[in-house]
Chains A and B, each alone.
Chain A
Amino acid sequence: MTSSPLLARLLRIEWLPLLAMAVAAIIVLALISSSFFSTYNLFVMLRILSVTSLVALSQMVTIAIGQMNLAVGAIGGLVAILFGAMLELYGVPIPLAVLAAVGVGLACGAINGWLIAWTRINGFIITLAMLSVFTGLNYGITKSIPFYNMPQALKSAYDSYLGPVPMILFIPVLAALGVGFILNFTRAGRHMLAMGGNPAAAELAGISISRTTIFTHVLSGGLAGLAGVVAVARLGTAEPTIGADWLLASFAAPVIGGAALAGGYVSVIGTMIAVVLVILLENGLLLARTNPFYVQFFLGALILLAVMFNQWRARRVAMRVTTRRVVSP
């Protein structure tokens, strides 16, 4: 490792190529479209970022332990309509409603985690079943009718500024810092990554697989619930369809960001840059006035290219590096 060439050294920082791509995308978009740097367009992207970053982090934590949470969108949708119902039907004060809504998300995650830990059935099947259960509850309660009358205070809080900085910028930043802190500096986070790396070895080392599974799914459910709340604030209505299209995005960002689906390795920074990259892609196609269907096509292509690149990078790094960090900050 003493005389590793520059390329190899740069390749080891797994989010650097992503950052380069994002910067390149920004430059290209700024050159192509004069309206890219307009306050309006930046704010539009920031609004999307406020929800998608939470969705991505929610999936990322379950990927860290080598599982999946297919119910991320279903939890987000259920929390969104319960949040809307609390505000519209029962006039619950906003802070209390936010707390209660996130609590519902945590509870949904706890049910997922407890079912997986107790039955020892693959998390994929359990969360697929709970996806159906949560979505069914959502539509059963609302009969597919949104709650339209959200208090003005909610919208104005969402669109407010702290000095020159929009409040909604704090949502992704704080969430990423929180998840990064848990993964890197807490015992629970170390247990999660150890379990993701090798569950059998982790169990032999005295880590409780059940407790770690439940903790992770509670965390994932809480983040998904928070995403549901933010989505309601963003849209100004509590729609039952919130979360229905989160599945692809939730996996796209962590995987583009370098996470191993087998578990044990995730990158918070990589995931966040990947979210930005996906938003830039969508925004670019929007500014170029292409058919909206192109977004889906290019997003699929982007995921494929990114995972292939990540694999190539991992092979290059594996050839040169013997020691390996478990998680990047």
Chain B
Amino acid sequence: MSDVIEPRAGARAGAASWGDRLLRVAHAGGLLLVIVLITGGASLFVPNFLSPFNQFTLTRNLGVDIIIGFGMMVVLGLGHMNLALGAIGACAAMVVGFCLQTLGLPIPLAIAGAILAGALLGALNGVLVVRTGLDSFIITLATASLYFGLMFILTRAEAFRDLPADFSALGKGRVGPYSSFLVIAGVVAAGLVVIFNFSELGRQILATGANRTAASLSGIPVNRVIIVTHALSGAIAAIAGVMVTARLASALPSIGEEWLLPSFLAPLLGGTLLAGGFVSVIGAALGAILLSVLQNTLVLLNVSGFWIQFFLGLALLAAVGIDRWRVVQTQKRGTPGR
């Protein structure tokens, strides 16, 4: 991971200059423009795109995708990764299923239990990263296997299908024509905006991601910050796991298997850096919107599901390529604030 590029060194932790802020707004604006163009085109030319049914399913998937992206985004702020995101989501799904079906707990308690379990598994990732000093990539790759394996062993890969109707009703909630999952995503987004812009923790995460040694020297409890951030990532993954469980009206062990690509796509499209020290909550949400709209449009255009992954890969390449090109152009002219 030594070839990490740092295009917006000034836009990292600490006071951002006006030039950097402008660059960020330009990035989000560019993303928004692409989304508006695709949505506008789809509304005009793709039949059924605006149908109430499609708007509902689109926004329901979108709500989950946004939250999955957030789960990766918070650890990217540290310059870390969480490849166990899907495994934690699956574990949380099974916990909520177990609490509801086997223990018969009330719904809020079951959901709280699942989120707590996710936070604990995430915290374990953080503790392992801190204690061993190893790359979070390899730690979470190993724990992903560990958590999936443990969950399969404990549940014998059997799904929980007899969930209370009130719980599965959560997946059918509507706000106007849209899914109420968007509200959940909005609440989580608001919480993250507060954390990263107005809280001590957010500043500490970004400072640690930008330069761990400097952060440590300036008195930030780096190890604690890492553990808390991984716990936050686990809790967010658990929220997504519970949402998918409500949508499917059953807790399946296969939940989370396909989260890897979208979890990276949304924040990276949104301008979050792999190197750490910078995150964009709005950007990650916009990235997820772009993904979902693109995916939905391709499905409606009868593009075979097999090709959609191909186009998503190209979209990621195009997005990071354009971003890189823009940074190079800006640097040629001399970035203000550098």
Contacts and interface: CB of A to CB of B under 8 A. Distances in A.
Contact of A303 (B135, B142, B316, B324): B142
Interface in A247-277: 247-248, 251, 255, 261-263
Contact of A122 (B4, B139, B145): B4
A41 interface: no
A66 B309 contact: no
Interface stretch (A29-37, A90-98, A131-139, A178-186): A131-139
A114 to B, nearest CB: 12
Contact of B149 (A140, A247, A255, A293): A293
Given A122-B4, A299-B145, A307-B132, A133 B156 contact: no
A143 interface: yes
A295 B146 CA distance: 9
Contacts of B306: 136, 139-140, 142-144
B145 A297 contact: yes
A132 B309 contact: yes
Interface residues of A, number: 53
Given A125-B274, A139-B306, A304-B143, A120 B5 contact: yes
B153 A136 contact: no
Interface in A86-130: 115-116, 119-126, 128-130
B313 interface: yes
B149 A300 contact: yes
Nearest to B268: A125
A127 B148 CA distance: 24
A261 B138 contact: yes
B264 interface: yes
Interface in A46-88: 66-68
B275 to A, nearest CB: 8
B145 A308 contact: no
A241 to B, nearest CB: 13
Given A128-B264, A303-B142, A303-B145, A133 B314 contact: yes
Given A66-B1, A116-B3, A125 B138 contact: no
Given A144-B306, A255-B138, A297-B150, A128 B261 contact: yes
Given A129-B320, A291-B156, A262 B1 contact: yes
Nearest to B312: A132
Contact of B1 (A261, A291, A297): A261
Contacts of A121: 5, 320-321, 324
Contacts of B9: none
A294 interface: yes
Interface in B283-330: 304, 306-314, 316-317, 320-321, 324
Given A121-B5, A213-B3, A300-B148, 12 more contacts: A120-B5, A122-B3, A132-B316, A133-B310, A135-B313, A248-B144, A291-B153, A295-B149, A297-B145, A303-B141, A307-B139, A311-B134
Interface of B: 1-5, 128, 132-135, 137-139, 141-150, 152-153, 156-157, 261, 264, 268, 274-275, 304, 306-314, 316-317, 320-321, 324
10 contacts: A66-B2, A67-B2, A121-B320, A143-B304, A143-B306, A261-B134, A293-B149, A296-B145, A296-B152, A311-B133
